[in-house]
Structure 1
């Protein structure tokens, strides 16, 4: 595990350095760079980190990163922007549901009896992110080979749409002055050596929230055993973010943004193309279909409704990838005022994605 963990962190630091030191790296942003590095490494060398290392990055480290990011969410500051994301987010979710159901019918002969399970999994993950993917997969219990193919397809399609969103947003997006207060520049950057006190206070707040959330989860699960712990964590962090002492949490956003990057490295490393273009091509095609339909419908409707392009792309990313990827896209497109609203809208996907996934599987199971 240690060697794998060092490898993941080393690739993340390499991506961080490239994004700070090169012109193309600054254009792409840290998140896209580490995604590409992980994707290239696994597909060129075949190396993938051990499961224990992946679980540590996706579990405790990402939980801490999400906690830090949410501790910067002052709901009084984000609502003027968040409500602008709500309509395109709803369209993205509805478009995903339509694409899932129609795709399951069209591709049913090639999915070999797996259309119901895949519909549930992909509805969940493309309306709320990988958290919902895991939740629904645990409930529907697909065969291990199918789960691996579905995971790889999910990651490849997500990474592709994330990259396209950056290109589209930077090519055609307009610079817009936010009407809501923005985070200060020092809240957006990764911590520096002079930020010791801010980092320490941020870690103390994060540790306190994590401990509180674990205790609350243990209590809640005595009566509701299937309660997702991530919902308790995000709710606890959001409540804590509204408490007095905002100045002591001023470093949370930058620290969280730094700590979330290994998660994207792992996503890149978990996206091997082997198998997707062999027997797994129907699974991959299904995932491509869903995201393509969602993206096209959203872009068409946003043109008709005159929604701002960048806001629509962030809302789409909140549905497909969840709060952390919506946040990453907003910062990659130099729209920090949309970072926290993207997290807020993404949390709605956390709340509804699992239920929508199970609903899709149920509806297709009736046919």
Structure 2
């Protein structure tokens, strides 16, 4: 009974595009918005519009355009910098704490399923989705859900729980960054540098400084989308062939079929190989980061759309608890082992953020806090999460019997 019907495609597209613009504008204009990050603002706009019945909680255009095209195209564009050799060389410490957080997510998924598996039918599938999401990001959530054919209602409810959980956790991380107690117990050189030097320049927010105008031509746009489309095309062909070829006569072969029959696994694989083996050519495609990030902003809008408060009350409380368990394990692993191995507070925060929200939100938080030296590394490790998130999500789901 929304004001705009689910069949009014152009109105819904207009609102989705406008919302992403508003979020980016606010992030680059106001300090408070920069601290929240444009990605989270986009999600919150969608949540508000759904719950005041301006837009429907689902619509074919969201599936057709965003799930069908925007997300698959975004992955190759965002992975153009995913040189696996460079990630290992340049991110060192941050990659280590990121992988510790990923281990925490894995343990949390297994523990949460053991505790709540009898309460929610199909929870192993949700555990697989959330493992992929809380190691990589939303694109991994989609990929694993597709791989295990998770029930649509479970996907919607898990999305609601995930979004609410993620928004709350990002606020907690921002609070930790300003907490006297955490600053007392963890070194925080980046925070000290910002406080000494100030955090704005010429009245600009840190987000505006980071996303300054870049050198991009018509040829770059054409090359970026041509590259992304070709990667997706070949990935779908390979995945389809292997899905039809690999038998499913036992549990192991079924896991292999699910893994190698996923288009997202091959989108990730081909993108990573190209970025690692043809780094020079990848760098010549300017604007891929901006284009890919904008497509992910559309994705954040769409994952906020099903976040009906009524649905939370009816379907999502247990799933909210399940997602909370994963986040708690991730946070405990990051902060406990971060303390043990003498990591900086800022490194722990952005690594955990990169796990739970992906590179976009991690970079957004680093930018908003003025930790400029961590923006590149957290984008790289978060991107690495895209690489391994789908793999590990499928493995966890197979182990749990999804």
TM-score of the pair, normalised by structure 2? 0.74
How far does the alpha carbon of each residue in 1:120-146 deviate from its partner, in whole angstroms, 9 at most, with x for none?
232232222233323332343333322
User: How far apart are residue 279 of structure 1 and its match?
Assistant: 4.2
User: How far apart are residue 32 of structure 1 and its match?
Assistant: 3.0
Number of residue-to-residue matches in the alignment = 353
Aligned match of 1:45 in 43, 53, 60? 53
Partner of 1:95: 104
Spell out the pairing of 1:200-219 with structure 2 (5 A cutoff): 200-217=218-235
User: How far apart are residue 36 of structure 1 and its match?
Assistant: 2.6
Contact in 1 for aligned 2:161/2:319 (Cα 8 Å): yes
User: How far apart are residue 286 of structure 1 and its match?
Assistant: 0.8
User: How far apart are residue 283 of structure 1 and its match?
Assistant: 1.7
Partner of 1:181: none
User: How far apart are residue 92 of structure 1 and its match?
Assistant: 0.9
Aligned match of 1:8 in 12, 16, 27? 16
Partner of 2:238: 220
Spell out the pairing of 1:1-367 with structure 2 (5 A cutoff): 1-45=9-53, 47-48=55-56, 50-71=59-80, 81-111=90-120, 113-169=121-177, 174-175=189-190, 188-191=210-213, 198-217=216-235, 220-221=238-239, 223-225=241-243, 226-229=261-264, 230-232=267-269, 234-235=271-272, 238-239=275-276, 242-243=279-280, 246=283, 248-365=284-401
User: How far apart are residue 235 of structure 1 and its match?
Assistant: 2.2
Partner of 1:182: none
Q: Counterpart of 1:260 in 2: which secondary structure?
A: helix
How far does the alpha carbon of each residue in 1:232-261 deviate from its partner, in whole angstroms, 9 at most, with x for none?
453265248611584x54544345444432
More deviation in 284-293 or 153-162?
153-162
Matches of 1:73 and 1:352 in 2, distance apart?
12
Partner of 2:3: none
Matches of 2:236 and 2:149 in 1, distance apart?
24
**Cα pair distance change 1:116/1:12, threshold 3 Å:** closer
Matches of 1:186 and 1:281 in 2, distance apart?
37
Q: Counterpart of 2:190 in 1: which secondary structure?
A: coil
Matches of 2:395 and 2:92 in 1, distance apart?
26
User: How far apart are residue 149 of structure 1 and its match?
Assistant: 1.2
TM-score of the pair, normalised by structure 1? 0.81
**Cα pair distance change 1:342/1:276, threshold 3 Å:** same
Matches of 2:222 and 2:387 in 1, distance apart?
27
**Which runs of no fewer than 5 residues in structure 1 stay unpaired?**
178-184
How far does the alpha carbon of each residue in 1:203-258 deviate from its partner, in whole angstroms, 9 at most, with x for none?
13312322431453255346434142431453265248611584x54544345444
User: How far apart are residue 200 of structure 1 and its match?
Assistant: 2.4
Contact in 1 for aligned 2:76/2:231 (Cα 8 Å): no
Contact in 2 for aligned 1:213/1:232 (Cα 8 Å): no
Q: Counterpart of 2:313 in 1: which secondary structure?
A: coil
How far does the alpha carbon of each residue in 1:10-64 deviate from its partner, in whole angstroms, 9 at most, with x for none?
1122222322333422443323332332232223336346232354234433444
